[in-house]
Chain A
Amino acid sequence: MWIYALRRLILTIPILLGVTIICFLLVQIAPGDPIQSLLPPDASEADAAALRAYYGLDKPLVIQYAVWLGKVLTGDLGMSIQVDAPVAEEVGRAFANTITLALLAVALAFIVSMILGVIAAYKSGTWIDKLFTSVAVFGISVPTFWLGVVLVIIFAVELNWLPAAGMGSSGSEHFSYLRWEDFKFAIMPMIALALPPLGIMTRTTRSSVEEVLNQDFVQTLRAKGLGEAAVLRHAVKNAMPQIIAMLGLQLGYLIGGSVLVEMVFNWPGTGYLLNKAILSRDLPVLQGTILVLATSFVMINLLIDLAQSIIDPRIKRS
């Protein structure tokens, strides 16, 4: 077990290095010369060369990468061009908002998908099963940003129950999920974000619970006179490791995948930040945000894997 954990940990290092390489290259593949945008239009060739040397852009790419990586490792993600603030600060603030929203969405997806999936598995083959499976297909197929717009149309425009966008008057600093005035801003983004993982997790839950229900020992339990509720509890318990694994994976996807939903609802998370950076071509912010998000995705996967190997040592992974 510990060998596995250690090995998994060590294998993560080259992945993270690869992530930094890709993030570094993101700025390189961007069209246009970064120096030109910093120079006044009448600047001479010599001025350009001097500035290039100042930023180290005259060095070979490998050196530039090493220098950049060194800074990143000390937490320096550069300066935002747009707002003249350290990228790390901006990303940090946005990241907190993203992760809270993602956690809420995953919790919602988990609860609903458990209910739908278990019932669908239990009623396998009936119209209830078909209905719930259709919900799952809908969840997987729906464009989240459109769903967000539709939710706004229904609950903000037509019914006027919920606010259309933003994080409320108290702002992101003092936002509290326990206060209704604040929480109501999170409801629609949470639902829009939760639907795709809900679809996927309903499928997973349904198939793994159904698989357990079809096994011989369940028949034995029934034969022994165990009630249906107890049988079901047993099945769910057996299917749990698989469901938990899927849950963790989805959390990771949400953290990286909330760009569109955050944009629809002006939710000041990393997705919103990313969108602003794209519009203003603020490459340092783009790079820093992607780096933080991808790194956290890798770390979440690592944690799930480790947790899994503790919960269920039978699972052998290569």
Chain B
Amino acid sequence: MTDATSDPITLNQEADLPQAVVRGYWASVWNRLKYDYVTLFCLVLIVLIVLSAVFAPWLAPFDPEKSSMANRLKPVGYKEYLLGTDEQGRDILSRILYGGRTSLAMGILPVAFGTLIGGLFGIIAGYYGGRVNMIIMRTMDVFFAFPSVLLAVAISGSLGGGLQNQLASLTIVFIPPLCRVAETAASQVRTMDFVDAARASGASTFSILKDHVLITVISPVLVYASTLVSASILLASGLSFLGLGVSPPTPDWGLMLSTLRQSIWVQPLVCAIPGIAILITSIAFNIVSDGLRVAMDVKS
């Protein structure tokens, strides 16, 4: 033990911990993630899918909207048509590449908007508690009374087709669950001593929300949001499948599946291709978000 006369200020406190590797939170997340090969593979896959959508104009062998009556419903591998053609003779591969643009955008944008809006409401509800919390969360509860597909179809169905409407309805679908996650996290932070310490040092509520609540809430919300991207892709393609998305001839995976469905008796394999694109993308996002969740779990 220390002897009574030693000056506590020069006590060798530093001895009781070895020179720890000092690194931030995200570095430690990456450290765990880099040994999860399945997740990494899917991450690479997503990057490739995104790149191929972004660079579709350079990658696509044909104009995705140019039809050709002579080349209707050709099988996979017919001439230059690597994945065959659709009922109007348009190249499936080109349409898949271009269609990835709307499908990916509709996977990510609604979740991003939902995160912003739902996260904001959730943080406010969680941090302020009381009546504010009650009003916000009871309103969200009403939206939870609708299964997500139903809510999306209801809003889109009444707004009608078009990308903006699809974006709006999907955003509304994702606000309540994201709000709930943010609310749970924020109401936990609210009871933490470090928030009281910040208040005691005279920080304004806004500063506390910005500097303490936000950085704590952001990781559970982002992890949860990442699980929704796949759901959003599925919902969006479902809406497009119902005709509640982009208007033809713009390519979109869900819409392609919907029109090709009439031709399953002629070219069954070709008809299944757009769905495969949806499936692969959605699986990749699911696996990555799950890997991310595990890697970001600080307790493990």
Known interface pairs A153-B272, A256-B147. Does A146 touch B242 (Cβ–Cβ under 8 Å)? Answer: no
Contact in complex: A149, B264 (CB < 8 Å): yes
Residue of B with least CB distance to A257:
B149
Contact in complex: B264, A257 (CB < 8 Å): no
- Residue of A26, A253, A260 touching B154 (CB-CB under 8 A): A26
Q: For A286, what are the chain B residues with a Cβ–Cβ distance below 8 Å?
A: 154, 157-158
Q: For B155, what are the chain A residues with a Cβ–Cβ distance below 8 Å?
A: 26, 29
Q: How many residues of B contact A (CB 8 A)?
A: 45
Q: How large is the interface on A (under 10, 10 to 19, 20 to 34, 35 or more residues)?
A: 35 or more
Q: For A19, what are the chain B residues with a Cβ–Cβ distance below 8 Å?
A: 142, 145-146
**Interface residue ranges of B236-274 to A (CB < 8 Å):** 237-238, 241-244, 254, 257, 261, 264-265, 268-269, 271-272, 274
Q: For A150, what are the chain B residues with a Cβ–Cβ distance below 8 Å?
A: 272, 275
Contact in complex: B275, A255 (CB < 8 Å): no
Residue of A with least CB distance to B280:
A141
Contact in complex: A256, B158 (CB < 8 Å): no
Known interface pairs A149-B264, A256-B147. Does A31 touch B238 (Cβ–Cβ under 8 Å)? Answer: no
Residue of B with least CB distance to A149:
B261
Residue of A with least CB distance to B154:
A290
Cβ distance B80 to chain A, nearest Cβ, rounded Å? 25
**Centre residue among A15, A31, A140, A287 by max chain B CB count within 10 A:** A140
A11 and B147 CA atoms in complex are apart in Å by 19
Residue of B with least CB distance to A274:
B153
B128-145 CB contact bits vs A (8 Å, 1 = yes)? 000000000011011101
Contact in complex: B264, A260 (CB < 8 Å): no
A238 within 8 A of B: no
Cβ distance A67 to chain B, nearest Cβ, rounded Å? 20
Contact in complex: A30, B158 (CB < 8 Å): yes
- Residue of A15, A293, A297 touching B141 (CB-CB under 8 A): A15
B48 within 8 A of A: no
B219-248 CB contact bits vs A (8 Å, 1 = yes)? 000000000001000100110011110000
Contact in complex: A277, B264 (CB < 8 Å): no
Contact in complex: A264, B261 (CB < 8 Å): yes
Known interface pairs A146-B279, A149-B272. Does A259 touch B159 (Cβ–Cβ under 8 Å)? Answer: no
Q: List 20 A-B contacts (CB under 8 A).
A: A15-B141, A22-B142, A22-B154, A29-B155, A137-B286, A141-B279, A142-B279, A146-B257, A146-B272, A146-B279, A149-B271, A149-B272, A150-B272, A157-B265, A257-B147, A259-B149, A263-B241, A290-B150, A294-B145, A294-B146
Q: A149-B272, A279-B243, A286-B154 are in contact. List 19 more A-B contacts (CB 8 A).
A: A15-B141, A18-B139, A19-B145, A22-B143, A27-B158, A29-B159, A137-B287, A141-B230, A143-B275, A149-B257, A253-B148, A255-B147, A259-B242, A264-B261, A274-B153, A274-B157, A278-B157, A283-B158, A297-B146
